[in-house]
Structure 1
Amino acid sequence: MPAHWFFVSYSPVPPPGGTGVGRPAADKNVKEFYADLTRAVVNLGGPLTPPGVGYLDADRDDPAAVRALNRCRAFVPLITPRYFADPYCGRQWTAFARRAHRGTLVPALWTPVATTARPVRVDLDLPVPARPGAPLHVDDEALDGYARGGLYGLRQHSDHPEYYDQCVGRIAQGIVQAALGTPEPAPDEVEFTDLEDVPDAFAATSWHPLGIAVLAPDIHHLPAGRSDIKYGPEPRDWQPYSDGYGTALAERTAELARNVGFAPQIRTYDEAEPVFLGHRQTRSPWVLILDPWVLHDPEAVRRLREFDARDLPWVTVLTPIADDPQTRQARPDLDALLKSALPRRLSRGRAIQRGAILGLDNSEAFSSRFMELANSAAHHYLNRDRLRSSTTKSSAPADRRHVDSQGDQEAPS
């Protein structure tokens, strides 16, 4: 059988409540994209297109997957934040890159991934065919939509379905050009039979560190009258959402961080405060997870005001709102406490940051905002780090002290 022209590598999202046994199936949207891409490749390839032109890696237990990866002309990773946290996808990436016979990497952006969350160098723009090929037309609005929301965003939210079709067509064009420019591998050509023996290209050694600080009461230090149902022996045991996961929010936040390429470390606010106040140099961006109930303590309000007074764009704040009846009843008072403790961030931050501070009512909203704001904090941290590095190399010691004191100037977080 002729080699597949393209192999789609994909990391599925586990169902709620755990991954269960084996690997989850590719979802409906991914399967529909694969069908759309296959049709576009066949239309462009015409009579040269072989039967079985593509392969969707929707079942890793299928022995045909390894053979397809061995022999395909183009490797099409369907890029998501989760993709770079999936060791199996990392091994596929390595296996394809190390093949003796040539092949072409044609990435397809499914959902946006921040630069800081990419452990390997990969161009996520739409492919442009090499000369003398002329690129298929793609509207500027389609290019913008692809960059901002990926193919999934174009499928779900665009009022112009042709934008999605244009982007799929350009990816198909990259595949066809790669296929026609790559020799047919030998029928028995197999370079690897077990991906478990192949290194993960996305190994965690290249991940970016992320601090996760928790400011919440423990079960022994609750405000007067506060129910203890959401708390445990330590602040990191706080579990504001009753959504069946059974794990503390800090641990679930760390899992989210790993899914987008961060190496998280969980700390209490007491442990993180010297970094926030400039007494110790930061070595990572941070996310502060805040329980507004802790602000019934005037000392906690004072400390948070001191934090708020500093320009820290590399620290983002998220306030989960517990879903118990007592919290719902106390919401107006909790909102007032938040506004009192974080006036600067609530007056000068971006709308998305202000919304995250004023409250995230469920785990889905929290997860979504965490993904966006953790990446934003990482960008600010990397920009700050580059500025400090370039300035300290070119400045005298007296100037260096001045730069250090100004390194956290506001860039809206």
Structure 2
Amino acid sequence: MRFFISYVHDSGEDDRHVDTFYRDLHHDVLMFAGQRSHDTAGFCDTTLSLGQRWSPSLIDALSTAQVFVPLLSPAYFASPACGKEWQIFTSRLARSGRLHGAESSIVPLLWVPMKVPAVAEPYQYREAAFGPGYERAKLRALIRETRNRDEYHAFVQLLASRIVDLSDGDPVVVSSDRPAFDTVRSAFETPALVTAPAAPPVRRRVPRPAVNRDERPILNPNLLPEDPR
């Protein structure tokens, strides 16, 4: 598997835009790689519903794909499922010794204009390399703007060429196991704060009041002297 598209589903218009983008990109990747038109080069599950768990085919693709293409948006970083997909791929990169840098095999795309969170900053790709249309409008608008079809197709070709170059380079380790959805921690979770155990209360000794010897209580009346009367 050459590439895996990771995005947050909305069960609406954006899913249709992503499906269009995936089909165009898949076609161009096959073309640049010299593969047959009926081969499978990538994966994008546009049929997954919100809240639905991963399918076996999704897990297989995520465990074998050589390039990870996340479509970044504020909703993407709020999605536990997307955070888990990011975690699995970056874990594979770490085992391959290619976690950071230009050859990390993560090619993030801005779905909408946004400030990228710290977790994604090491993987930002130079936007100018994908042409002025993407640099100006970002991917969602580029797909929707029918008047800029030439810019859109030029962007897809540049991205496809990039994916083929990365997938033909140093391989990313294939995961031998197939993790279940609930066993993976999202890379976007904020680590829980570890609080130190509360110190035991300090027990202070209160000084006992001094007692006059003549005023001490009589504990044994049999020790009293005989009454002189």
Structure-1-length-normalised TM-score = 0.39
Aligned to 1:76: 69
- Which consecutive residues of structure 2, in runs of 5 or more, have no partner in the other structure? 99-103, 193-229
Of the candidates 55, 58, 62, which is equivalent to residue 55 of structure 2?
A: 62
Aligned to 2:181: 195
Q: Does 1:45 align with 2:46?
A: no
Identity %: 30
Counterparts of 2:109 and 2:10 in 1: how far apart (Å)?
17
Q: Does 1:182 align with 2:170?
A: yes
User: Highest CA radius of gyration, 1 or 2?
Assistant: 2
Counterpart residue type for residue 70 of structure 2: P
* TM superposition shift of 1:45: 0.8
Aligned to 2:105: 104
Q: Which runs of structure 2 are paired with 1:171-250 in the superposition (5 Å)?
A: 171-183=159-171, 189-204=175-190
Aligned to 1:13: 10
Of the candidates 75, 78, 85, which is equivalent to residue 78 of structure 2?
A: 85
Counterparts of 2:57 and 2:66 in 1: how far apart (Å)?
15
Counterpart residue type for residue 124 of structure 2: D
Contact 1:109 1:124 in 2 (8 A): no
Aligned to 1:113: 114
* TM superposition shift of 1:75: 0.7
- 1:146-193 deviation digits (Å, cap 9, x = unpaired): 13321211122363211111111111111101111134866xx52442
| Change in 2 beyond 3 A, CA 1:12/1:124 | farther
* TM superposition shift of 1:96: 0.5
Higher normalized contact order (CA 8 Å, seq sep 6+, divided by chain length): 2
| Change in 2 beyond 3 A, CA 1:90/1:184 | closer
Counterpart residue type for residue 46 of structure 1: G
What RMSD over aligned residues (CA atoms) do the two structures have, in Å? 3.0
Q: Which runs of structure 2 are paired with 1:385-400 in the superposition (5 Å)?
A: none
Counterparts of 1:36 and 1:84 in 2: how far apart (Å)?
25
* TM superposition shift of 1:26: 6.7
Contact 2:8 2:76 in 1 (8 A): yes
* TM superposition shift of 1:127: 8.3
Counterparts of 1:152 and 1:199 in 2: how far apart (Å)?
28
* TM superposition shift of 1:36: 0.5
| Change in 2 beyond 3 A, CA 1:75/1:168 | same
Contact 1:11 1:89 in 2 (8 A): yes
Counterparts of 2:69 and 2:4 in 1: how far apart (Å)?
6
Q: Does 1:163 align with 2:156?
A: no
* TM superposition shift of 1:42: 1.1
| Change in 2 beyond 3 A, CA 1:13/1:152 | same
Counterparts of 2:128 and 2:173 in 1: how far apart (Å)?
24
* 3-state SS of 1:27 partner: helix
Aligned to 2:138: 150
Counterpart residue type for residue 65 of structure 2: C
| Change in 2 beyond 3 A, CA 1:127/1:97 | farther
Provide the aligned length of Structure 1 versus Structure 2: 178
- Which consecutive residues of structure 1, in runs of 5 or more, have no partner in the other structure? 16-24, 129-137, 207-413
Counterparts of 1:70 and 1:146 in 2: how far apart (Å)?
29
Structure-2-length-normalised TM-score = 0.67
- 1:64-92 deviation digits (Å, cap 9, x = unpaired): 11111111111111122211111111111
* 3-state SS of 1:8 partner: strand
* 3-state SS of 1:199 partner: coil
Contact 2:3 2:65 in 1 (8 A): yes
Counterparts of 1:152 and 1:68 in 2: how far apart (Å)?
24
Counterpart residue type for residue 185 of structure 2: P
| Change in 2 beyond 3 A, CA 1:114/1:148 | farther
